[in-house]
Amino acid sequence: MPPLTESHRAAHLRWLLDLTQVPTAAGREQRVVAWVDRWLAERPDLTRAQDPSGNITIALRDAPRTEAPLYLTAHLDHPAFVVERIVAPGLAELAFRGGVMDDYFPSARVTAHAADARSFGARLAERVDGASPNFKTFLAEFDDADAATDALRPGDVAVWSLPPPEVAERDGVRCVLTHACDDLAALAAALAALDTLRAALAAGEQVGDVRLLLTRAEEIGFVGAIAACRHDTIEPHARLIALENSRSFPDSPIGAGPIVRVGDRVSVFTPELTAAVAKVAEELAGGPAQPLATQKQADLPAWRWQRKLMAGGACEASVFCAHGLASTCVCLPLGNYHNMADLAAVQAGTNEAPPRIAREYIALADYEGLVDLLIACGRRLASPEGAALGSASFRQRLDKLWNDLRFVLE
């Protein structure tokens, strides 16, 4: 497959910037779905299916179908508010669907999006305790009381008010600062990879059974992924690479490459599939994720990747594993996780300024590296034999070590 051109990279960046601005919330992902459907309308060689809970599967129309397809999965929601009711002119009750510390809500600015595409600014007022059994609920006071009252309805989405996205330097790394990387940046990367594989298939190259699974309502407890398992949306022998944007820590820095995630806070993922993805990353990079004891940092290639546990949270890979499906995760290291700026200091109580909402950010090179890795996984792993790549390769190394060095035991 020829390397991606500047034109390809520009299109992938454009999709990233577009998608991460789309208002979305758990259970109210329709605007993201509409964006994806417009994208699909220009690609008739891709097929779309939907399960009873609204999870979407996209496949290559002309690729061979197998009993063990390779799924790339991403979720369609981001922590956000949903309008519960209009309390009085210019005053609405908003329920927050997602995980954000209480410290970030007082007097925060939000923007509500009506069905007719109008948007309305507001400021959060007091919290309404007991209004919802499942979600934090707040009153919001709208700047334009009459217009907002006329346009907004229960079920409309409200998001944090944030500056426009941009590509800018941050701590010496070229980053994309935008509204909702988690998980729309992963969705953009998955679409970019599938688009590249689609073009390869159209050019006569061999491409395996690669599909996308786009799930709903991840931010409130993986509800869409659970539904996909319960509906048998996923074949029993399928392999799944869940895509995430995971909070960056000092040992998983932004700009050091996409992360092959071996586990999360609640489980360790399928070892064989994780090993296979790591093997693809190592082949793509031409070297390991970090220097061996016999190497220097300068010995590593320019294409960077990481292999980490990332135990700060949980992801859909654990859901799939719990339902007996082979699954692992690849993620992007994320700054301002869930739009919480200076999160470590706020958690430690050492912040010098009041907690504030800000744009999430990822390294542009990490995003491009994720696209590269997903394309390579689609080519190398989208066959039943591909799933055993990592473990088989390691067993071959063990056999060679035995044959070469067993004499020392004699």
pLDDT tens by residue, 385-406: 665 665 667 788 889 999 999 9
Q: Tokens 């700009």 belong to which residue?
A: 255
Higher pLDDT, residue 367 or 392: 367
Per-residue pLDDT for 295 more than 70? no
Predicted pLDDT at 62: 94
Q: Give the separation between CA 299 and CA 294, rounded to whole angstroms.
A: 10
287 — pLDDT class (breaks 50, 70, 90) = confident
Tell me which H or E stretch contains 165. none
Q: What is the pLDDT of residue 131?
A: 75
The total of other beta-carbon atoms located within 10 Å of residue 319's CB is 26
pLDDT at 300 over 80: no
Q: Give the domains, in start order, of the chain with CATH numbers.
A: 6-78+166-395 (3.40.630.10), 80-160 (2.40.30.40)
* E strand spans, 248-385: 259-261, 306-308, 326-334, 360-363
For the stretch 224-233, pLDDT in tens is: 999 999 999 9
Spatial CB neighbours of 183, under 8 Å, sequence gap ≥ 6: 74, 75, 76, 77, 78, 218, 243, 244, 245
Which neighbouring-strand residues pair with 49? 57
**pLDDT-derived band at 292, boundaries 50, 70, 90:** low
Least-confidence region, from 1-10, 324-333, 342-351, 390-399: 390-399
pLDDT tens, position by position, 83-98: 999 999 999 999 999 9
Enter the pTM of the model: 0.95
Partners of 94 in the β-ladder: 83, 138
pLDDT of residue 391: 65
DSSP label at 393? H
Pairing of strands 70-75, 239-247: parallel
Task: Compute the C-alpha angle 169/175/181, nearest 5°.
Answer: 150
